[in-house]
Amino acid sequence: MTGLPLSDIRVIAVEQFGAGPFGSMQLADLGATVVKIEDPTTGGDVGRQVPPHAEAGDSLYFEAVNRNKQSFALDLRNPAGREVFLDLVRGADAVYSNLRGDVPERLGIRYADLADVNPTIVCCSLSGFGMTGPRVRQPAYDPILQGLSGWMSLTGDPGSPPEKSGLSMVDYCGGFVAALSLLAGVHAARRDGVGTDCDVSLFDTSVSLLTYLATWHLSRGDRPQRSRRSAHPSLVPFQTFRTRDGWLVIACAKEKFWTRLLPVIGREDLGSDGRFATFADRLRHRLELEGILDAVFLTRDCEDWIEQLTEAGVPCAPTNDVTAALADEQTAARGLVVSTEHPRFGELRHVNSAVRVGPVRTRHTRAPQLGEHTDRILREVLGYDTERIARLTERQAFGAAPGSPAPQ
């Protein structure tokens, strides 16, 4: 493989905050040219203002999900800005957005709006609820979706208040789904010569991730419930256990792991105990088995258990905090921490993309400053001359200068 795998793809991104930028960053990390359209009348992507570590129109939050992109300051609601946008579309493979489901129609960024300009354009919309259904006009953020799709009913210990996951998992998964949809659309457009819409939603993403729990419920009427200490709903032992100095997690997802566990904990007798003979038996006698294991694991330190369990081939891990996770030797071995240089913040260290195609990318560029690439794209990509840029500037295509009257 020569070069990055998506180096021949150009994406126009009308995006903001987390889910959309995270998805398009996966494409940018793989070499796609991602031109990020930012509204100069509002200060650009709202992610630039997210605390902490936010100043002068930039933030570490913004940096975390916008590396390797180009920023183009453009007012899409301005007629002159619309002209420039259509010129960008002519040379693009996709228009990517994460706006409320009814906004792409209002902005004119669906396939029906752009097909005359570029018949092969792929218009990928990632919205909260999609472009159809009763919630199409409702805004949605990650905890809203975690609550609505049932995730909070499954997270945390029984009896505790509804809880979201510690990360914005619906947003990030939605970004992955949108990136995958966009690439499938571009592939089909290049094959067939016709573009399309990708109507992706965070709601669809979160409900689809219910997977086997949904199948159990829809097919057999099961009502999934929370389980103690992050336990698997049907496999035992598959959960956290307290040790003498902390917590570890064990996952006996196969019978062989259960068999390997017993000599490590000095309880080979459990192998002949009929209560624990099979997956189904251990599930029926879950509380009894947990009580036995709880008493055993409290007798030693976490590191001691991890060493012995790992040597025996039992899936296990400490319950790391973020500091320990980023310092883990596997994190370094997989090249998961990368650096960029920023004019205000200095050296920034980020986590790398998990998407791997060929050699791991090690060199990255920082997230762009608002409108940083506007002039270069106008001249080098669109071929505008100085006079045309001046006329468009006067018409406020790129935002109004302070104190300027609105365009007529």
What residues are annotated to the active site?
232
Closest CA to 261 of 304, 315, 307, 318: 315
Angle at 230 between CA 224 and CA 233, to 5 degrees: 35
Q: How far apart are CA 340 and CA 369, in angstroms?
A: 14
* DSSP H stretches of helix in 91-224: 103-107, 111-114, 142-148, 151-154, 169-192, 202-208, 211-220
The span from the first CA to the last CA of the chain, in angstroms, equals 52
Tell me which long-range contacts 146-154 makes (C-beta under 8 A, separation of at least 24): 146/170, 146/206, 148/203, 148/206, 149/203, 149/206, 149/207, 149/209, 149/210, 150/207, 150/210, 150/224, 151/206, 153/224, 153/225, 153/226, 154/213, 154/224, 154/225, 154/226
Amino acid letter, residue 379 = R
Cβ 127 vs Cβ 99: under 8 Å? yes
Three-class SS state of 250: strand
Q: Alpha-carbon distance 220 to 216, whole Å?
A: 5
Longest dimension (CA), the chain: 86
| Spatial distance between the Cα atoms of 86 and 92, rounded to a whole number of angstroms | 10
* Element holding 340 (H helix, E strand): strand 337-342
Nearest to 373 by CA among 4, 44, 42: 44
Give the H or E element holding residue 95.
strand 94-97
Quickly list H helices, 209-270.
Answer: 211-220, 255-264
- Cβ–Cβ < 8 Å for 23, 174: yes
